[in-house]
Amino acid sequence: MSWQYVGAGQPVLGPQQSPQAPSVNYDPPESAGGTGLVQGLGDGSEIVRPLASVGNPGDDAGPINESLLRTGYVRLVNAVYTVSSPVMIPPYATLAGIIPASAGIGSPPAPGLRIPKIIAAPSWAPGAAAGVLQFFSQTPGNWGVTAQQQAARRLIIDCSGNSSGNINPVFFTGPCYDTHLDDLLLYGGHNGVHMTNFTESGIVPVLPYHQRWNRVSALQQSFRGFNMTNVTDSIITDCLAGYSQGGGNVGFFVSVCGNTTFIGCRAEWSAASGWQITGNCSGTVTLSGCSTDHNTSNGVLITAAVLGANDGGGVVIAGGKFHADKGSFGIDVTGSTAPVTVDGVIVEVGQTTGTFGPATAFNFDTSTAVTVAGSVLQGTSSAWAAAGGTIARSGCIGATGNPGSQVYARLADI
């Protein structure tokens, strides 16, 4: 079959890069007599359908990548795509699932499927860390401009059928700026969101920064849901990490993420702690209205949190609830010299498969400048444990025992 591509948009590329001729000959839309694999729209974007939908199954990353380079805005229909190589999101480019009601175009959805699903092929076995969706900075991405304003929206990324330990649903390399992730379900893989560093000339950060992530769920990863290192100056909203599999795994691993705020995020049923916050917290790491549920170890573990030489900061937990984490502690602050403020939270006892937890609601160990105020702290054995350091506590209620038999008492201000 001889296909000729008919497109609508222009590539969003820098001066070091020019559009390449497609490695596959794409056909015109169905209205022009083709099969409609790639369809240009009047707004400069393109629709890319799965190769299997035109009887030519293969690696769907190819046509998606080429369309992203041509137009900078690619829409996927409500169908299943299979990839055996990464989908690369260029600077200023967006990959998004179609909303059928507003778009009025696209293939009929698969049964039960309401947004596009991209599956990592079971045979894909990269020799190093890789992602189904990849966000790379300028040099490793070979972009002509700095990597900024890359976006992915309304997609399911499913790595559950791939046994490689190197595949992640979302993978960052280097300092990508102002990335937007919205309405993503990340299923399976090593880490739901993973990243490695790269030093770009003239840019201080070496990892993604100034991120905006909204309603991203990372479920059933083999290691961590969100593996976040040096993700500074960011706002993470309404995200969920859950059901990480295997020992030592946490929902949100937050290391050296100063000036970053988590709003209404939740960690549940992880094989270790729901949250682990560590490293340099200059500029402050904030959990606002966040929650945990039924994690195997602690609800929130703050360990070795420190400040750098240039900025003040610390860790703030403002509001939220931490429920039935069946390890030793609901909130555990240990070995930290950065100020930690906990205000207006409730730590709840609950049952997980016959085991009630946490044993102790709040633990404070060899840390300095910790403040706990206006909180309700429930533990099966104790509300409070302290072992060295400097702490201030005021307006707190403690309770011990299991639900239905708990005894509440005001904790003395200290």
Residues 305-334, mean pLDDT to the nearest whole number: 95
Q: Which of 24-28, 29-33, 92-96 has the highest mean pLDDT?
A: 92-96
pLDDT at residue 107 tops 70: no
pLDDT of residue 324: 96
Q: pLDDT digit string (tens) for 334-376?
A: 999 999 999 999 999 999 788 899 999 999 999 989 999 999 9
Q: Is the pLDDT of residue 126 over 70?
A: yes
pLDDT at residue 1 in the model: 21
pLDDT of residue 33: 45
Quick one: pLDDT at residue 176? Answer: 98
In the structure, what pLDDT confidence band is assigned to residue 99 with cuts at 50, 70 and 90? low
Lowest-confidence segment of 52-56, 245-249, 288-292, 342-346 by average pLDDT: 245-249
pLDDT at 11 over 70: no
pLDDT tops 60 at residue 108? no
For the chain, give every domain's residue range.
30-411
Question: What is the rounded average pLDDT of the residues 290-306?
Answer: 96
User: Residue 353: its pLDDT value, please?
Assistant: 80
Q: What is the pTM of this model?
A: 0.90
Average pLDDT over residues 281-299: 96
Share of the chain above pLDDT 90, in %: 77
Read off the pLDDT band of 325 (50, 70, 90): very high
pLDDT at 39: 86
pLDDT of residue 327: 84
| pLDDT given for residue 209 in this prediction | 97
**Average pLDDT over the chain, rounded to whole?**
88
245 — pLDDT class (breaks 50, 70, 90): confident
The CATH architecture to which 30-411 belongs is: 3 Solenoid (2.160)
Q: Report the pLDDT value the prediction gives residue 19, as an integer from 0 to 100.
A: 37
Q: Please report, rounded to a whole number, the percentage of residues in the chain having pLDDT higher than 70.
A: 87
In this model, does residue 212 exceed pLDDT 70? yes
Rounded Cα distance, 312 and 382, in Å? 33
More confident residue, 389 or 207: 207
Q: In this predicted model, which residue has the larger pLDDT, 78 or 106?
A: 78
For residues 296-324, give the mean pLDDT. Answer: 95
131-141, pLDDT tens digit by residue?
999 999 999 99
Pairing of β 46-48 and β 38-40:
antiparallel
pLDDT at 128 over 50: yes
Q: State how far the Cα of 381 lies from the Cα of 373, in Å rounded to an integer.
A: 21
What pLDDT, on the 0 to 100 scale, is given for residue 387? 87
Question: Does the structure show a pLDDT above 90 at 35?
Answer: no
Residue 30 confidence (pLDDT) above 50: no
**Residue showing tokens 């997609």:** 155
Question: In this structure, what token pair is assigned to residue 237?
Answer: 């909203």
